[in-house]
């Protein structure tokens, strides 16, 4: 499956037209904003449902992530993250989504020897609890890398949870920016649990979600490896708007055609 991101409701009509013209899915991102979730989100949800009426492609959601720490040592902080993530599962059900994407938010600046193993323990407990709620809702969860320095953190959390409804999301821009591990190695390590991927490029210093045609990531070999993953992860062109997506889509389309992967 291939999809495109949509950051705001006002952009949805044009993005829906593009998605329907090319048989793509949509990742909705507006419900990741805390001001939305603490505001009139039910009214916004109703407008999304109206605008999406009749859309046949797969729908996914990007979950909230700013200042949310599912691996926090403070149980009250982790409880805030759990509350937000449950709220997203509720919204996902209402929109008929198949997946919600969440960040793990590992902090690589903490260098205490105990941080990583204890963080893994807390993350596994957190996502094990949410996995069964996701299963009941019929919504899969993809855990995305942000500042994680290597792919083994995602893999270990997911393997400890060991639940079909919890898988990995690889963000190629984040991996390039915040890790010294080559992208090909990220894909090799994540492949057994990879169900979702965010595609965009970067100039090398900031997370600006550039089109695939710009930036320093060698996208052709990276995408060629991604599309050969056994699980066929859903690939999302995650960019600010339609112009960047239109610029990037032919690059992805050309690579998919080489491996006979239908759009």
Q: Is 90 helix (H, G, I), strand (E, B) or coil?
A: helix
Work out the pLDDT band at 183, boundaries 50, 70, 90.
very high
Provide the number of structural domains found in the chain.
1
Averaged pLDDT for residues 114-135: 98
Model confidence pLDDT, tens digit, residues 41-68:
999 999 999 999 999 999 999 999 999 9
Percent of the chain at pLDDT > 70 equals: 98
Residue 162, both tokens: 């060991």
pTM comes to 0.96
Domain hosting 217: range is: 2-258
Q: d(Cα 103, Cα 93) in Å, to the nearest integer?
A: 20
**Residue 156, domain member (yes or no):** yes
Mean pLDDT, the chain, whole residue set? 96
Give a yes or no: residue 61 inside a domain. Answer: yes
In a domain, 263, yes or no: no
Each residue of 209-239: pLDDT tens digit? 999 999 999 999 999 999 999 889 999 999 9
Q: Which CATH number does the domain housing residue 204 bear?
A: 3.20.20.150
Residue pair 123/70 in contact (Cβ under 8 Å)? The answer is: yes
Residue 60 lies in a domain: yes
Contacts of 126 (CB under 8 A, 6+ apart): 70, 71, 78, 81, 82
Residue 48 domain-assigned? Answer: yes
Per-residue pLDDT reduced to its tens digit, 23-39:
999 999 999 999 999 99
Q: How many CA atoms lie within 13 A of 5 on its CB side?
A: 28
Mean pLDDT of 3-9: 98
Q: Is the pLDDT of residue 205 over 90?
A: no
Q: Determine, yes or no, domain membership for 41.
A: yes
- Using an 8 Å Cβ cutoff, are 44 and 79 in contact? no
Question: How does residue 20 score in pLDDT terms, banded at 50, 70 and 90?
Answer: very high
In a domain, 235, yes or no: yes
């Amino acid at each position: 499956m291939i999809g495109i991101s949509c950051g705001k409701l006002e952009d949805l009509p044009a993005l829906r037209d593009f998605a329907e013209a090319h048989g793509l899915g949509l990742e909705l991102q507006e419900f990741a904003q805390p001001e939305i979730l603490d505001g009139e989100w039910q009214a916004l949800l109703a407008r999304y449902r109206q605008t999406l009426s009749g859309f046949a492609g797969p729908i996914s959601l990007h979950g909230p992530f700013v200042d949310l720490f599912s691996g926090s040592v403070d149980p009250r902080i982790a409880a805030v993250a759990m509350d937000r993530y449950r709220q997203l599962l509720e919204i996902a059900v209402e929109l008929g989504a198949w997946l919600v994407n969440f960040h793990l938010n590992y902090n690589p600046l903490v260098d205490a020897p105990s941080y990583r193993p204890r963080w893994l323990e807390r993350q596994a407990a957190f996502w094990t609890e949410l996995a069964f709620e996701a299963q009941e809702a019929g919504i899969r969860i993809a855990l995305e890398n942000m500042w994680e320095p290597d792919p083994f953190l995602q893999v270990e959390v997911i393997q400890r949870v060991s639940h079909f409804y919890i898988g990995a999301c690889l963000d190629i821009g984040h991996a390039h920016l915040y890790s010294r591990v080559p992208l090909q190695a990220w894909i090799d390590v994540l492949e057994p649990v990879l169900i979702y991927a965010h595609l965009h490029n970067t100039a090398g210093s900031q997370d600006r979600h550039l089109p695939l045609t710009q930036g320093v990531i060698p996208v052709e070999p990276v995408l060629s490896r991604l599309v050969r993953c056994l699980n066929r992860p859903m690939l999302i062109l995650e960019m600010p708007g339609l112009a960047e997506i239109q610029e990037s889509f032919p690059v992805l389309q050309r690579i998919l055609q080489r491996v006979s992967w239908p759009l």
